[in-house]
Amino acid sequence: MAAPRVVFYAVNGLGLGHVTRLLAIARAMRLQASETEILFITSSEADGVIYREGFAAIKLPSKTIREACGLRKSTYLKMAQSVTWNAISAFDPDVLVVDTYPSGSFEELIPVLRWRQKNVFVFREQRRDSFQSDMLMAALPLYDLLIVPHESVEQIGDLPEPGKARAVGPILIRERNELLSRTQARATLGLSGVIDDETLLLYCSFGGGGEPESRRALEMTIRAALALPHAHLVIGSGPLLLNAPEPRAGMTVISGRYPMMDVLPAFDAAVAAAGYNTVHELLFAGIASVFVPFGRVLDDQGRRARELAEKNACLICDPLTERGLAESLAQLADAPTRHTLAKNSRSIIKKNGAAAAAKSILEIA
């Protein structure tokens, strides 16, 4: 039997969420069937991370870059459709795996989904009004398998063909045995000689770094963290953050490191956006965190953070204000509070769903 060929279609512009989920599945797939041929098609402006994880990628400009560089929309759409269709046709995959947008970013996948390959949709929980859109509901029957990166299928709502769905749990880019110890992680980040055991080591991340509001959140976090006694702030400067803040006393900037998940055990606590990947990585690593929800078209970050706060697995700062952030960080500075949040965080995610997702996809290849 010939080695299966799999295309992962990851639309990303300002963040890395879709790319990260699909990379996690691709890594697990390669472990289970090393001969599998894998190709990514992506519009992420941080496509270099795909190669660093060991996979080939065909790059499309993101919508953000299209606007910034003056490409007319009609020109962009024609080009993106042509590149996508020709790449998939030439690679001739056995399976096409798509994340979040079942019809593609601008419906370019609708014809492709009727080709010979099996189609798999990674269906993360979405806002109900977005989930019920006519285009999404029309595209779902064109898929052979729905991978649900949650504990139950019910979390994504009613489906036209629920028998196609399989809940695998949160999908993460690293397994638990790939996380470094506290000492190893601090050494890897070059922090061993910077801080001592009495220092509260805080991690700050607001996604891939391309979101306009991330800069405001970052500046507020820097001010609040540097006002804490015996604290050191580490900023995870995402691959898409064009202008990283300048390092200063009490602060370290880690530029371009991807992923950060394996070194999360270095930290005592975190301040982060409430996106799917960031939240689940911090929970899995057991890091006491305050989550800041950002407004998104599909992703209800506020709901995610509130549900976890109700389980006493995190703190939430919503809306983001100077006072609210300062109060949240003051709570994180309390060791018993951190211990409780960390303990409850670890209980939320029992295992990484990437292996189960990869197994299900390989079964239909």
Residues 129, 204, single domain; the answer is no
Q: Report the CATH number that the domain containing residue 317 is assigned in CATH.
A: 3.40.50.2000
Instruction: Give the single-character DSSP code of 180.
Output: P
Place of tokens 């990283």: 244
Question: Stretch 222-235: mean pLDDT, rounded?
Answer: 94
Residues 110, 215, single domain; the answer is no
Amino acid found at 226: L
CB contact at 8 A, 259 and 278: no
Q: Per-residue pLDDT tens for 238-258?
A: 666 666 777 788 999 988 788
Higher pLDDT, residue 133 or 25: 25
**Residue 294 in tokens:** 């950002």
**Strand bridging mode 95-99 / 56-59:** unpaired
pLDDT at 241: 62
Mean pLDDT, the chain, rounded, equals 90
Residue 295 pLDDT greater than 60, yes or no: yes
Q: What is the pTM of this model?
A: 0.93
Residues 247, 305, single domain; the answer is yes
Residues 54, 144, single domain; the answer is yes
Q: Could you give the CA distance from residue 12 to residue 323 in angstroms, rounded to a whole number?
A: 33
Residue 85 pLDDT greater than 80, yes or no: yes
Q: Could you give the CA distance from residue 105 to residue 99 in angstroms, rounded to a whole number?
A: 10
* Residue 39 neighbours by CB distance under 10 Å: 20
Q: In sequence order, which ranges of 127-229 are alpha helices (DSSP H)?
A: 128-131, 134-139, 182-188, 212-226
Q: Could you give the CA distance from residue 83 to residue 105 in angstroms, rounded to a whole number?
A: 14
pLDDT at 47: 80
pLDDT at 45: 78
Confidence of residue 153 (pLDDT cuts 50, 70, 90): very high
Q: Per-residue pLDDT tens for 113-145?
A: 999 999 999 998 877 665 556 777 788 999 999
Question: Could you list the residue range(s) of the whole structural domain that residue 124 is in?
Answer: 5-172+352-364
Into how many domains does the chain fold?
A: 2
pLDDT at 190: 93
Residues 202, 317, single domain; the answer is yes
pLDDT at 26: 98
Residues 17, 165, single domain; the answer is yes
Residues 99, 241, single domain; the answer is no
Residue 300 pLDDT greater than 90, yes or no: no
> Could you give the maximum distance between any two Cα atoms of the chain, in Å?
63
